[in-house]
A and B are shown apart, each in its own frame.
Chain A
Amino acid sequence: MRLHSMYLKTFSLGVQNSLEYRTNFFLNLFGAIFPILIQFFYWRAVFTSSGQQIVFGFSYNQMIAYSVLAVLMSKLIGTTFQYEIARDIKDGGLNKYLVKPIGYLSYRIFCFLGEKSVQMLVVLALSVIIMLLLNAWLDFPVNLPYILLFLCVVPSALMLNFFIYYSLSAVAFWFTEANGAFRTFALLANIAGGGLFPLDIYGPVTKAILLALPFNYVIYFPIRLLSGTLTGPEIAAGAMMQLVWIGVFAALSTLLWRQGLTKYIAVGG
């Protein structure tokens, strides 16, 4: 009960923190419009110049719908805490957590969920509006069971992404300045997860490799589910794999953090 209140408070501080700078919050969301526009013009050009109805197995409408949803999904599960963690490690800010009777991991999870929750509500609301627009304009299938299933796999996608980046953040123990590594990784992970293009546009071998990696369960899988292109067993297998990967990365992060903390030199002050 007591422990419960500690995490609840961390969660609530995360929420409050994300609401403290309102302009930043909305600009952040507003920024998502530009990648959407770029995708839109890009695919229009591709389809016009190819003169075909189907490109990489996608119709024009499907492609636009995928691209828009991929940008929103990337926004929905995106993390920035790895930069904070790296700074804490570099400047010695981690000290204040080490001396308190609180687990850093659980502190970070609840803080992340708190910060994310408001943004998620807004993004999800936006997604509903956009889906209705897509439906009216491009005949995007809006199907309640799929939407509900989608909402079930989003939390797993979020947690998987959390653990991937929490594991990654531990590299800051070894490379004191890790931001370059984070940016590169985020870019590659986004591409490998289908955040830029659907994985189908890569060759069959590349696609098979990417499907074997964890990243597609964060973006590609939920969107395909939402678009209604997956069968029941495929959905079950995907949801299962999400859990497996969460387990793998939770274990990995524990290992990396334990190793890293013995290297930690608590600089300054």
Chain B
Amino acid sequence: MIIEVDGLSKSFTYHKKELGLKSSIQNLFRREMQTKHAVSDISFSIEEGEVVGFLGPNGAGKTTTLKMLSGILHPTSGSAKVFGYTPWERKNEFKRQFSIVMGQKNQLWWDLPANESLFLNKCIYEVDDVEYARTLGELTELLDVKELLKVQVRRLSLGERMKMELIAALIHKPRILLLDEPTIGLDIISQRKIREFFKYYNRDKKTTIVLTSHYMNDIEEMCDRSIIINHGRIVFDGGLNEVNERLGHKKIMKLVLSEPVEEWVLNQVGEVKEFKDTHVKFVFEQSEIKKMSRWVLDHLPVIDFTIEDIPIEEGIALLYQSGGEKHETA
């Protein structure tokens, strides 16, 4: 196990500000402090070479978790071990072995060309000259940014800058790569390129990748395993295709009818998810598939029908809704 997390929690205190100027002035003198539990008692472990995605709505605690894993934040309670080190002790030997990329932050010097910042990282991580030249050549080739190394970072497009950020993060060949929203704000083609790059990089170098995203596609394409987190708790841990099993093997049946039917008739059959004129959508248990189909075909004026799995997005939305109750899985 390269990462082991046990009962990790983090809460923040902050003050509330009501709408308007009056409360701003009140806030100058008296502040009502509140506590937010960003992450509550999460536990998981990750093996070397895995690609794990943290999925969850905004504010679910994904980024906070990554920040604790990288040692930026101290947890309120609980423990974490990365290569056996406790991240927030911030040992240099620990720092040399991982990298974190934050999609909304940049580590490159804004006013200077990227290769200056890359060279600074070379010096910081004590990469030797030959190794540096080779890694840099390989990465710029893969990401197709060789020509841009000498351009001031502030003149690069968002996608180009992201690629430079990645090179800066990978120049010392980290064993773990933590990515916080790596594709945020990028167009679809750049997103795809970056994803392909990560997949290749993981296969080629066996680097462990932990990423957060709220784009389903990121997770679906890159990660064999996802940890779905909501309100600071883990609600699911496993392959995305297993989300359905976790929801109890539900299926969706879509019908097209030749003429509209009264809703009470449909309600006899099962749970109506959507109903509009001649289009009906049922949700039902997989075990009832035969019974359902037979009844529907016998009693309703069906002209077309399909049976599908619940789409992953919807499954995840269902998990978000079920929220904190059923954490502790897998």
Contacts and interface: CB of A to CB of B under 8 A. Distances in A.
Nearest to A93: B105
A93 B107 CA distance: 8
B105 A98 contact: no
Interface in B12-33: 12
Contact of A100 (B104, B124, B152): B124
B95 A100 contact: yes
Interface in A216-269: 262, 264-266, 268-269
Nearest to B126: A2
B70 A99 contact: yes
- Give the size category of B's interface with A: 35 or more
A93 B111 CA distance: 16
A13 B116 contact: yes
B112 interface: yes
Contacts of B119: 9
Contact of A95 (B102, B103, B123, B126): B102
A11 B111 CA distance: 15
Nearest to A4: B123
Nearest to B111: A20
A92 interface: yes
A17 interface: yes
A5 B123 contact: yes
A10 interface: yes
B83 interface: no
A20 B112 contact: yes
A101 B92 contact: yes
A187 interface: no
Interface string A77-101: 0000000000000001101101111
Contacts of B126: 2, 6
B70 A17 contact: no
Given A17-B112, A99-B100, A266-B67, A6 B105 contact: no
A174 to B, nearest CB: 14
A9 B125 CA distance: 12
B73 A265 contact: yes
A186 interface: no
A2 B109 CA distance: 21
B208 interface: no
Instruction: Determine which residue in B70, B74, B120 has the highest number of CB atoms from chain A within 10 A of its CB, and name it.
Output: B120
B218 interface: no
Contacts of B73: 264-266
A151 interface: no
A135 interface: no
B326 interface: no
Contacts of A8: 123
B63 interface: yes
B72 interface: yes
A102 interface: yes
A16 interface: yes
B114 to A, nearest CB: 12
Nearest to B110: A17
A34 interface: no
A99 B169 CA distance: 11
Contacts of A99: 70-72, 95, 98-100
Contact of B180 (A6, A265, A269): A269
Contacts of B120: 6, 9-10, 13
A266 B72 contact: yes
Contact of B102 (A5, A98, A102, A269): A269
A16 B74 contact: no
A96 B105 contact: yes
Contacts of B71: 98-99
Interface of B: 12, 63, 67, 70-74, 90, 92, 95-96, 98-100, 102-105, 107, 109, 111-112, 116-117, 119-121, 123-126, 152, 180-181
Closest 8 CB pairs of A and B: A269-B104, A6-B123, A101-B92, A96-B107, A101-B95, A269-B102, A20-B111, A9-B123
